[in-house]
Structure 1
Amino acid sequence: MSNFAQPDFFNWYLELPMVELEWEFGVSDSLAPADIEFLINPRRLRGSDFLMRWAQGRWSEEIVMRALDQTSKFGVVPYGPSTVAPEDPTALEVFFEKMDVIALEGKRPDLLLYDKATFEWVKDELESRLGSVEKMAETSSAALKDIIAKARAAFEIENSLWVTEKMPGFGKPFSRYTRGKNKGRLKPAGIIPTIIVKEEDIPRLQLWEAAYGIPIYVVHIFYDRGYFIKFSDILALLSSGELAMETQRFSNPDGTAATPKQIVKVPYILCKEFGTVSGPQLLPRTFVDKNGKVMTYVTFSGGQVHLSPTVFEEWTT
């Protein structure tokens, strides 16, 4: 479907914004040079940071699926590779290296949403053809066009390590910039929740949307709530000048810096509320890399999305 040159598939799917990986700390005068180097060595920081962020990404996809599946209206099928990738860090890299067929397609959304009756048919078809529902994420879209075509919507799932209600600008009135490159655009009172889309993903998502005629939505899960917006609405906001691209640095899973990318940030007030999140647990994990380095990190488990009425209004009418 896509003629875009593909970057390394593992890094492409798993690279993370640097702003999500940065830590603030003071260095004591009593620390030896070797200790200071250990603290600021980006690869050593990035290893456990990446594992924690990857765990949160999986968690956000799982609670979205669980919340929608528990309703009488919807059923969700994993479609993007990240939704079924193994949790073990070593197996994770091997998994993405084997996904050459999927890589040739370009960008594909993470989840497909069906009405409940269609979802039951989809489950039966996938189990009959592939052996399990999860195998859809590892199968070429060309082989499953009839199943994809019945989806009501497709979801890109994003996540951030923020508690929205504690963000300085959350719930406060917006003003407008009066000068500079952002003149006329919304100006928050402080840091706020935003939904982020990379510029490089836009044409890929447009191609997928055009090929299957299914609307894409971006769903962003924070630690305490989630928001969503239709992909075409983001494009309209860009075209009108209400939103603009900006540069953000990203990091690859191995800690190396990725090329800075253009992104668009959509303020939460231009989005719809997906629901509130409650009860997530943080569990400690350890991992020993191939060089014997022991890394500790935190995984996310449990929790529930309490769906907003806007979810049902959006996809049942």
Structure 2
Amino acid sequence: MSNGKGMPRGLDFYRKWSQGSWAEEKLKEAINRTKDYSAYQYGPSRGEPFHTIEEFEKYNQEYSRKEDKFGKRPDLLVFNDSTIEDFSIEDKETLNELEEISDSKAEEVISSSSGGIEVETSIWKIEKRRRNGKSLSMTVKKEDYEPLTSWREQWNVPIFVVQIFFDEAYIMPFKNIEDPVEKKEENPQTSISGFYRRTDSNTGKITYFADVLEFEGVERIGEFVEFPEIDARFLERDDGKVVPYVAFKEGKLNITTTLENFFE
């Protein structure tokens, strides 16, 4: 099925998902190189590429069925290393299985985390935008907003949104958009400094945008000291059609702020 511009919907979704998985891995690596914190995969991710669109869609459906009643899992969970040191052997094993097991089997570990991170990506260089007197935004999809809120309320663990641009990364407390979202949903015409609500003309889906320079609470968290490479790949459809796409690989992101400013 096409999105009207020649790209199968399954491929478009997979391309974005693949880019997101790469961004999650780069952020996780960066946090794990810091002194006091460690990040673990919590939402669905996969290192190796899929070979067919159908294989990816099956994987995604299986995760959707497995996703817990508590809402949408943030992509990563962050822990203070001192907390991990106090974990039992069983809890330490659970850390490395968070993505695979149900929340009900990892309650103590989840509730001990310092925060969850929802990772978003953007194929822009923000430094060049700044030089041209323009800005970019953090993004949260409306379809993710309520499930993430449900998860946060269930576990009483703060969530942060991290936007990975091609050259830098920015962080924002999820709670900072709650009041603006409510006001925009009540009246989409409400003017809020640095905050926007837009509907995609192709999909009809709504996304919230928080300007990295104007919106309250947005801070730079990291920068790429090694830029990613572009990898040419392809997927096969069940009908035999081969569909090429590009993906990011490698790259090195360094944390440039003190994480304890965000995570307890």
2:34 aligned with 1:71, yes or no?
Answer: yes
2:238 aligned with 1:273, yes or no?
Answer: no
Partners of 2:10 and 2:148 in 1: CA distance: 29
**Equivalent position SS for 1:44:** coil
Matches within 5 A, 1:146-165: 146-165=108-127
| Structure 1 residue 120: Cα displacement | 5.3
Paired residue for 1:249, among 192, 200, 205?
A: 200
Name the residue aligned to 1:262: 206
Partners of 2:89 and 2:47 in 1: CA distance: 22
Identity, % of aligned positions: 26
Paired residue type of 1:296:
P
| Structure 1 residue 48: Cα displacement | 5.1
Name the residue aligned to 1:225: 168
Partners of 2:37 and 2:249 in 1: CA distance: 23
| Structure 1 residue 111: Cα displacement | 0.7
| Structure 1 residue 163: Cα displacement | 1.3
Q: Once the two structures are superposed, what CA deviation does each residue of 1:191-213 show, in whole Å capped at 9, x if it has no partner?
A: x2101112343332222112111
Partners of 1:49 and 1:262 in 2: CA distance: 17
Partners of 1:305 and 1:123 in 2: CA distance: 31
Name the residue aligned to 2:75: 110
| Structure 1 residue 114: Cα displacement | 0.2
Paired residue for 1:140, among 102, 113, 128?
A: 102
**Equivalent position SS for 1:309:** coil
Name the residue aligned to 1:3: none
| Structure 1 residue 46: Cα displacement | 5.1
Count of matched residue positions in the alignment of Structure 1 and Structure 2: 248
Normalised by the length of structure 2, the TM-score is 0.81
Paired residue type of 2:153:
A
Q: Which has the larger radius of gyration?
A: 1
**Equivalent position SS for 2:18:** helix
| Structure 1 residue 77: Cα displacement | 1.2
| Structure 1 residue 45: Cα displacement | 6.1
Moved more, 146-155 or 68-77: 68-77
| Structure 1 residue 116: Cα displacement | 1.6
| Structure 1 residue 315: Cα displacement | 2.8
2:90 aligned with 1:101, yes or no?
Answer: no
Partners of 1:121 and 1:203 in 2: CA distance: 33
Partners of 1:286 and 1:298 in 2: CA distance: 8
2:144 aligned with 1:201, yes or no?
Answer: yes
Normalised by the length of structure 1, the TM-score is 0.69
| Structure 1 residue 248: Cα displacement | 2.3
Structure 1 residue runs without a partner (length 5+):
1-37, 173-188, 251-256
Paired residue type of 2:113:
A
Paired residue for 1:52, among 15, 20, 31?
A: 15
Query: What is the root-mean-square deviation of aligned Cα atoms in Å?
Result: 2.9
Partners of 1:75 and 1:199 in 2: CA distance: 29
| Structure 1 residue 311: Cα displacement | 3.2
**Equivalent position SS for 1:42:** coil
Partners of 1:261 and 1:214 in 2: CA distance: 27
C-alpha distance 198-283 of structure 1, shift in aligned 2 (>3 A): closer
**Equivalent position SS for 2:251:** strand
C-alpha distance 142-51 of structure 1, shift in aligned 2 (>3 A): closer
